[in-house]
Structure 1
Amino acid sequence: MAENTNIEWCDHTFNPWMGCTKISPACDNCYAEAMMQERLKKVKWGAKEPRQRTSSMNWKMPLKWDRDARITSTRPRVFCASLADVFDKEAPQEWREDLWSLIEATPHLDWLILTKRPQNIQKLCHWSYGTFPDNVWMGATVEDKASAAQRIKHLGQTPCKVRFLSCEPLMEPVDLTDIVGFCGERLNALTGYIHEHDSWVHSIDWVIAGGESGSRARPTHPDCFRSLRDQCAAAGVPFLFKQWGEWLPIERTPEIENKITMPGQNSGLWAWPDGTRDGWKNGIVSARLGKKTAGRLLDGIEHHQFPSPLKEAA
């Protein structure tokens, strides 16, 4: 399961194994489960279900990408484990050790490891402080305030080259400058500053945000994305808006007003992500247009920023 990809923030995807267990609201409509378990019938999702290691041929693909990158003097980004979670304890540790060795053997690739279990990074990595390879980028999924409070503190303790957040699907507003729950303290994740103690942890270097896709996708209020965009701009942190997903906020015109029905009637086409009951009180209206049509422009602008791979580790 190694391939080139249409994912906006990477050049390749590589899956060392497949399978996972849902642990948070972001997992509710998991695309990997829908594809691998429901459609292809390849892997069962859930606790105590066996994870499936991919083929030896698949494991050789990053070596080829690395050779090509060395020849062309490029640095491809590899999203590792789009169909799994590297820090899922149900996967054998020896598989992770094989993955760490592969990463070390491919220094011309930047490995983007995204997890919903950052509390396991220090336990399951064989790299200690100061020994993380320069080509490792660690990320955490943050879909709401609860996941921000739980996960960012662990990511901030990881001494890798780049730390990033994937706020997709974003379910509610998240203030990354004031994360409550860092041992009872307030953390500005974009600077690494802990308010009460006047101390610092590693900051977040990059923020990805996006809406949900798929048949059961939930709409996101556009102000949630605008807030993250503005927070990142103020802190000088690169921001990438990946997609609206299935739902696109639309301008309220007379033509649109004539098409809108009350929630519960034609509810598969319209949604009110700000919670207004009927949508007639100047509430935000989202139309189900599909991922391709909805696109990835936020207020008419494509946000496609990346951190420098040559950034010095904090």
Structure 2
Amino acid sequence: MADTTGIEWTDSTWNPTTGCEKISDGCTNCYAATFAERWRGIPGHHFEAGFDITLRPERLRLPMTWRTPRRIFLDSMSDLFHQDISDTYIAQVFAMMALTSRHTYQVLTKRHARMKALLSRATFWHQVAEQGREHFAGCQEEWLAAGAMLGGEPLPNVWLGVSVEDQRWADIRIPALLGTPAHTRFLSCEPLLGPVWIADHIWQACPCCEGESHDEACARCADQRCESGHIRRLDWVIAGGESGPGARPLHPDWIRSLRDQTRGRNVPFFFKQWGDHAPEDHGHDRGRLTVVDPRGHGQDHDDPCASQTPVRMRRVGKKQAGRLLDGRHHDAFPAPAR
């Protein structure tokens, strides 16, 4: 948790919970677990319990102290939808996000099923309202304003995202995200461990005008953002390689494919980092050499969107590898909610 952060796509981090468990290949070299477990068993340390799930209710009000609007990454050291975190506590977190509508919250999870089930229930939003009145009773004026945001529509200042490290998890997590009520939806393809095809999920025909863009029909679903007969379902894609001990290298064509899929469909794309490995043809002739299989890490079949060419990568460290992709930075964001 920090007022500032080194994570390139956010301004601050807020951790009302800490701790998690590894559930997929993207978790293998989790930086948060590595950091927290260093301190396990040290009396009085913030991470005395290591990376066990721990609620931090003393941090719930922290966003209220940040007066300047900012993007806030929720639970950079945890996963809010972990099964050991109660619905009631999650409702308290959502109540705070409703109260502090000046901020934009980026909520990222690998537990897509619970997120979808919980946020799709009307009873959960009643619980958010109850927890707001109970725990933030000293904020009456702000809570009255926030109450208008709990009228059955997704909170406009909360972006919901899922982690997608390879095609297997893309096929599982993206449909769950699209089925979750949200104002803004995003993917974090980091660490990217193989080629991923997402283009088929980005747009759908408008259910009112059936893709024909009839103004009269679309007037009934204006809140679904019909554009030329279609509704955007994914609003942002982040992608990047892995850093730290055991980091797995990233094939450049996996990133190029995501960039091209989003660019061709008018979706903001953010390339966060190469990670510890950089392409040899970027001028790196030192560092441990790895030849990356275009099919991806742990893949045993050919993927139709994969390059057919192995690539030579050098382990030069995150800072040296940088963030340039084909000579430029890709730093696009979705527009904030009004």
Shared fold per TM-score greater than 0.5: yes
Contact 1:156 1:192 in 2 (8 A): no
Once the two structures are overlaid, the 10-residue window that deviates more, 297-306 or 1-10, is: 1-10
> SS of the residue aligned with 1:36?
helix
Structure 2: gaps (5+ residues): 41-46, 126-149, 212-229, 296-308
Task: Give the direction of change, closer, same or farther, for the CA distance of 1:134–1:54 in structure 2 (3 Å limit).
Answer: same
Cα deviation 1:160-185 (Å, max 9, x = unaligned)? 111000000001111112xxxxxxxx
Q: CA RMSD in A?
A: 2.5
**Aligned pairs (5 A) from 1:2-151:** 2-37=2-37, 39-41=38-40, 42=47, 43-45=49-51, 49=52, 51-54=53-56, 56=58, 58-65=59-66, 68-69=67-68, 75-125=69-119, 126-127=124-125, 130-151=152-173
TM-score, normalised to structure 2's length?
0.74
Identical-pair percentage? 40
Find the counterpart in structure 1 of residue 189 from structure 2: 167
> SS of the residue aligned with 1:245?
coil
Find the counterpart in structure 2 of residue 273 from structure 1: 292
> SS of the residue aligned with 2:94?
helix
- Residue identity matched to 1:170: L
Once the two structures are overlaid, the 10-residue window that deviates more, 199-208 or 105-114, is: 199-208
Cα deviation 1:191-241 (Å, max 9, x = unaligned)? 1469xxx89886110000000011110001000000000000000000000
Contact 2:251 2:294 in 1 (8 A): no
> SS of the residue aligned with 1:298?
coil
Contact 1:159 1:202 in 2 (8 A): no
Task: Give the direction of change, closer, same or farther, for the CA distance of 1:202–1:155 in structure 2 (3 Å limit).
Answer: farther
Contact 1:137 1:162 in 2 (8 A): yes
- Residue identity matched to 1:63: M
**Separation of aligned partners in 2, 1:240 and 1:92:** 32
Task: Give the direction of change, closer, same or farther, for the CA distance of 1:159–1:124 in structure 2 (3 Å limit).
Answer: closer
Task: Give the direction of change, closer, same or farther, for the CA distance of 1:81–1:215 in structure 2 (3 Å limit).
Answer: same
1:244 is the counterpart of 2:245: no
- Residue identity matched to 1:271: T
Find the counterpart in structure 2 of residue 289 from structure 1: 316
> Which consecutive aligned stretches of 4+ in structure 1 deviate over 4 angstroms post-superposition?
198-202
Contact 2:159 2:186 in 1 (8 A): yes
**Separation of aligned partners in 2, 1:95 and 1:20:** 16
**Separation of aligned partners in 1, 2:236 and 2:87:** 28
TM-superposed deviation, 1:3: 3.1
Find the counterpart in structure 2 of residue 265 from structure 1: none
> SS of the residue aligned with 2:96?
helix
TM-superposed deviation, 1:2: 4.1
Q: Figure out how many residues of one structure are paired with residues of the other and give that number.
A: 270
**Separation of aligned partners in 2, 1:171 and 1:129:** 40
**Separation of aligned partners in 1, 2:265 and 2:101:** 30
TM-superposed deviation, 1:117: 1.1
Cα deviation 1:226-273 (Å, max 9, x = unaligned)? 0000000000000000000100011198x94xx7xxxxxxxx811111
> SS of the residue aligned with 1:174?
coil
Contact 2:244 2:276 in 1 (8 A): yes
Cα deviation 1:132-161 (Å, max 9, x = unaligned)? 211010000000011001000011012211
Task: Give the direction of change, closer, same or farther, for the CA distance of 1:205–1:121 in structure 2 (3 Å limit).
Answer: same
TM-score, normalised to structure 1's length?
0.79
Task: Give the direction of change, closer, same or farther, for the CA distance of 1:208–1:252 in structure 2 (3 Å limit).
Answer: closer
Higher helix content, 1 or 2: 2
1:210 is the counterpart of 2:250: no
TM-superposed deviation, 1:92: 2.3
TM-superposed deviation, 1:283: 4.0
Find the counterpart in structure 2 of residue 279 from structure 1: none
> SS of the residue aligned with 1:215?
coil
> SS of the residue aligned with 1:251?
helix
TM-superposed deviation, 1:60: 2.5
